[in-house]
Structure 1
Amino acid sequence: MSKDKFVLLGTEIPKGKSAVLELEVAKLHTSNSLKVPVIVERGKEDGPVLLLLGGVHGNESNGVAIVRDVIRKKYNVPKRGTIICIPVFNVFGYLNLTREFPDGRDLNRMFPGSSKGSLASQFAYKFTKEIAPFVDYVLDFHTGGADRSNYPNVRCNINDEKQLSLAEVFGAPFLMHSKYIAHSIRETVHKLGKTIILFEGGKSLQLDKSVIDCGVTGALNVMKHLKMQDGDVQVNSDTIVIEKSKWIRASYSGIFESAVENGQKVTKKMLLGRISDPFGKFEKKIYAPFDCYIFGLNTAPNVYKGDAIFHVSVNK
């Protein structure tokens, strides 16, 4: 998107200038407006428009911290093109430390939204109409939900050449093929002809410096790849590509103890963990069904039968 005039949310941002805009969410009961800050930095030279998005789920703190650190380090001030940062997208959820919108809906299942739908749907609609059409690339930062911790991984449709290229230069330890989820931001942005990849790392309501650093480095790599910033991409030659994955689920309810680390490579029949009852009557061991990498781990002390406990790669 290369042009002399760039207008977002009714405000023109000239080359070499910045702006802090506001995307209105809703009126509160007190008649005050709740607005999402949208931080825009435009380079002096033409180039693409990149959106960095954090906090789609309000309790996913690492994503917010990644976008914050990009701003703090001034990586969001491009040499070329325009970088838009929205550190906290779901302001309601962020304030209440919850995943959902106040209407109980998952914002990331409400796109493209409706002007006459639920609160979450209306907000999704505003983004789809007022932000998404004006960007070329999107980095969407997430963490594991509930008691699940994700080892840093970037997700894309590996059959899409632009997405794969972006995911490769991002440089996370794992690169996972991921189908589009209906009514997600990712699906909607893709349908608009834009390129989007998603980063997952850590768990909700917990800051993890290694995850944050990985996300910040990945964002900077993408900026360099797109020629928005100068410098060489920090290539990660050890990135593991996962084309297919599955969750190993608990066969019993009880106290869950993992015997392996997140991110670890395990071999078939290797001990992964144990499930036992609180009274010392039984202990059930969990073994690896095949050689695989573990990139998602349930960190809850207690699990129920059927709970997802290990997210693992599956060989072709």
Structure 2
Amino acid sequence: MKFGKQLALRKAVPQWSEYYIDYKKLKQYIKQQSIKLASSTYDPDLASKIVDEFRDLLSDELEKVDDRFHDVEADSEEELDDLNATWHNAMTEEEQKQWRERLQGRINLIEELIEFTQANVTGFHKILKKFDKHFRQQSSGVPAKAVASGPTHDALMSTANSPPVRSGSISFSVGNDSMKRTNSPPGMGSYQAQQPIHLAQRRYSMGPEGKDMWRMVMKFKFSTTEKDEMLLSRARELWRRHAPPAPSATLPINDMQDLSISESNIQTYSELDLNSVPYGRVTKIWITLIEDSLKPLQVPVLIARGVRPGPIVGMTSALHGNEVNGVRVIHRLFQTELDPEQLHGTVVAVPVANVQGFLASQRGFDGQDLNRLMPGKLDGSTPQQYAYALLDRIVRKFDYLIDLHTASKGRVNSLYVRANMLDPRTRRMATLQNPQIIVHNTSPDGSLRGSAMTIHDIPSITVEIGNPGVFQKRFVKSALLGVTNIMSNLGMIPEDHSVPEYEPVICDRSYWIFCQKGGILSVIPEVNTWVRKDEVIATIHSIFGQLLDEIRAPEDGIVVGKEVDPVASSGSRIVHLGVTRGEYAKKVEDGHL
């Protein structure tokens, strides 16, 4: 649904925007000519003219996309040759740093090329399906099947053979032919995260007209070559070969304890000091944030410090005390995915950021929402001081932040990411996370994500993992895959070839729909399903069973989350609706609480 708007959002990267398929122009042409053909008796000459004109438009778009593919491909090959030739062991530390920055930039560009290619392949397939559908519909009312016989059929059909079938998991089914483009990159995980724009697991049936034009698409290199994937493989091999060396064996090892020691012997510190954490081990500690009337309030912290230099990725969970899916994500990450002896960089995780709320199975801290109090106050109220200490003593030490949440009590969520899609760093993180839905959001005032980004310039995303108060194995597994995708993309861990479960829908904004009347609320659509404008999405009944109100969708959108508590008052939430209007706003406030 709304592929054109989804494509417009993918065109947000300036260096790629002008080279994408002009899906809107082709769609408008199909609509206009379909109306023209339907307004009169079938004219084979007109039908043939429409086919020829559409072929010309299609050819122009194909050449534009293919030229861009060739330019970036050739430039990338030349750049990798130069990087390979210029590396030598006598380089200074600064020269090695600059070399690696060049290589990382090239890896990012090749990943963008792969996303660009896949989006365009999908776009051409969809527009051909639309063309085929419209003109077959036009022919349905005439005796001789206007398009399937006569000059139009002759113009559409060609003797070109289908291109060779390629290996991989993506299959475009056109008629009886299966035309494939691989979905198995040897990369750091980001290519997996681009699967949303593939047609994975979908099969389309097209008539001979669309089939013939699809053959035309497949003659262009960008639609069939694996060169982009080979370049990505080569770039990552170059990175692995010249990754930063392991630290010296003389690096200091302090008295912090590793994950295997008794829980009673875990030491307590006043702040996160990574310089005192041993390399090649998982360390667990307590960090004191504030004091109550009896004792210090401490948060648990897990640290995996790799033996090789790299970024510091931080994770926080249960900032709202009853949102616990993230706790399980962190546990599984440290137990099954991280090997500190092979890790580049450091992973720091706070499995429970709101200790008081966690113990009480409540969202807030002392009745207040910590995720609306950031950056807190050094001399403020108890919750404000707690928020200040969490940000200042732990989070500000991160290079990247992944903040794990779930729905609030009485609501359910899809697996979705909230991120500023105008920031290339967080856009990449959101895409790599591979959720069901990505919502463009510039972060509400007082949020941990917003404070980390605006005050400390830490690229940050919020991952909403389903429902509160429970562990959901399926969502935990998918969220974990997304986290490892991000780390893999940063060069911290080896690439993972696991196929993500979801194909994310990108929304450029979202908002809540509220009740106007109180009563018994029934919300109809499930999360992660589409609703259309004016569709009934909820009903309100009186306590005696009388229908009081029907709530309709104000526009087309996808259900990001919804209320499940049937007891509603005026102003109660109904549905969190994600929408796609085709552009990212600089400031987005969705009223999310």
Q: Answer whether TM exceeds 0.5 for this pair.
A: yes
Please tell me whether residue 56 in structure 1 is matched to residue 319 in structure 2.
yes
Alpha-carbon distance, 1:124 to partner:
2.1
Alpha-carbon distance, 1:162 to partner:
0.3
Please tell me whether residue 246 in structure 1 is matched to residue 531 in structure 2.
no
Alpha-carbon distance, 1:205 to partner:
2.0
Q: Does structure 2 retain, via aligned residues, the 8 Å contact 1:76–1:85?
A: no
Q: Does structure 1 retain, via aligned residues, the 8 Å contact 2:318–2:326?
A: yes
Please tell me whether residue 198 in structure 1 is matched to residue 477 in structure 2.
no
Please tell me whether residue 293 in structure 1 is matched to residue 558 in structure 2.
yes
Please tell me whether residue 272 in structure 1 is matched to residue 537 in structure 2.
yes
Query: Which residue identity lines up with residue 265 of structure 1 in the other structure?
Result: W
Give distance in 1, aligned partners of 2:552 and 2:376: 43
Please tell me whether residue 67 in structure 1 is matched to residue 333 in structure 2.
no
Structure 1: runs of 5+ lacking an equivalent: none
Q: Does structure 2 retain, via aligned residues, the 8 Å contact 1:246–1:311?
A: yes
Write the deviation string for residues 98-157 of structure 1: whole angstroms up to 9, x where unpaired: 11112x222122222222212222222223322233210010001111312121101111
When residues 119 and 233 of structure 1 are mapped into structure 2, their CA distance, relative to the original with a 3 A threshold, is farther
Match of 2:20 in 1: none
**Richer in helix (by share):** 2
Query: Which residue identity lines up with residue 130 of structure 1 in the other structure?
Result: R
Please tell me whether residue 87 in structure 1 is matched to residue 384 in structure 2.
no
Structure 2: runs of 5+ lacking an equivalent: 1-96, 98-243, 255-270, 582-593
Give distance in 1, aligned partners of 2:485 and 2:421: 18
> Which one of the candidate residues 139, 153, 158 is aligned to 2:416?
153
Match of 2:282 in 1: 18
- Provide the alpha-carbon RMSD of the alignment: 2.4
Write the deviation string for residues 55-99 of structure 1: whole angstroms up to 9, x where unpaired: 111111222222222223243746211000110011111001111
Query: Which residue identity lines up with residue 430 of structure 2 in the other structure?
Result: A
Give distance in 1, aligned partners of 2:574 and 2:338: 36
Give distance in 1, aligned partners of 2:547 and 2:446: 43
Give distance in 1, aligned partners of 2:413 and 2:339: 26
Give distance in 1, aligned partners of 2:526 and 2:425: 32
| TM-score computed with the length of structure 1 as normaliser | 0.90
Give distance in 1, aligned partners of 2:287 and 2:490: 26
Q: Does structure 1 retain, via aligned residues, the 8 Å contact 2:344–2:491?
A: yes
SS at match of 2:414: strand
Greater Cα offset, 5-14 or 249-258: 5-14
| Aligned residue runs from structure 1 range 101-120, under 5 A | 101-102=365-366, 104-120=367-383
> Which one of the candidate residues 405, 409, 413 is aligned to 1:142?
405
Write the deviation string for residues 25-52 of structure 1: whole angstroms up to 9, x where unpaired: 333433x333111111111111110011
| TM-score computed with the length of structure 2 as normaliser | 0.50
Please tell me whether residue 186 in structure 1 is matched to residue 445 in structure 2.
no
SS at match of 1:59: coil
Q: Which has the higher contact order (CA 8 A, sep 6+)?
A: 1
Match of 1:122 in 2: 385
Give distance in 2, aligned partners of 1:235 and 1:161: 24
When residues 247 and 133 of structure 1 are mapped into structure 2, their CA distance, relative to the original with a 3 A threshold, is closer
SS at match of 2:429: helix
Write the deviation string for residues 259-301 of structure 1: whole angstroms up to 9, x where unpaired: 2211101223333232211213335333333221111110111
Give distance in 2, aligned partners of 1:152 and 1:253: 29
When residues 269 and 114 of structure 1 are mapped into structure 2, their CA distance, relative to the original with a 3 A threshold, is closer
Please tell me whether residue 214 in structure 1 is matched to residue 475 in structure 2.
no
Please tell me whether residue 311 in structure 1 is matched to residue 576 in structure 2.
yes
Give distance in 1, aligned partners of 2:322 and 2:361: 5
Query: Which residue identity lines up with residue 298 of structure 2 in the other structure?
Result: K
Give distance in 1, aligned partners of 2:329 and 2:339: 12
When residues 259 and 115 of structure 1 are mapped into structure 2, their CA distance, relative to the original with a 3 A threshold, is closer
Write the deviation string for residues 212-235 of structure 1: whole angstroms up to 9, x where unpaired: 222212111111111111024656
Query: Which residue identity lines up with residue 239 of structure 1 in the other structure?
Result: P
Count of residue correspondences:
314
Give distance in 2, aligned partners of 1:235 and 1:244: 27
Give distance in 2, aligned partners of 1:71 and 1:169: 19
Greater Cα offset, 302-311 or 80-89: 302-311
Give distance in 2, aligned partners of 1:209 and 1:143: 13
SS at match of 1:85: strand
Q: Does structure 1 retain, via aligned residues, the 8 Å contact 2:286–2:300?
A: yes
SS at match of 1:203: coil
Match of 1:231 in 2: 495
Q: Does structure 1 retain, via aligned residues, the 8 Å contact 2:301–2:349?
A: yes
Q: Which structure's CA Rg is the greater one?
A: 2
Query: Which residue identity lines up with residue 370 of structure 2 in the other structure?
Result: L
Give distance in 2, aligned partners of 1:25 and 1:72: 26
Give distance in 1, aligned partners of 2:430 and 2:414: 15
Give distance in 2, aligned partners of 1:37 and 1:198: 20
Give distance in 1, aligned partners of 2:580 and 2:551: 19
Alpha-carbon distance, 1:249 to partner:
1.8
Give distance in 2, aligned partners of 1:158 and 1:86: 25
SS at match of 1:82: strand
When residues 308 and 233 of structure 1 are mapped into structure 2, their CA distance, relative to the original with a 3 A threshold, is farther
Q: Does structure 2 retain, via aligned residues, the 8 Å contact 1:201–1:211?
A: yes
Identity between Structure 1 and Structure 2 (%): 28
Give distance in 2, aligned partners of 1:34 and 1:247: 35
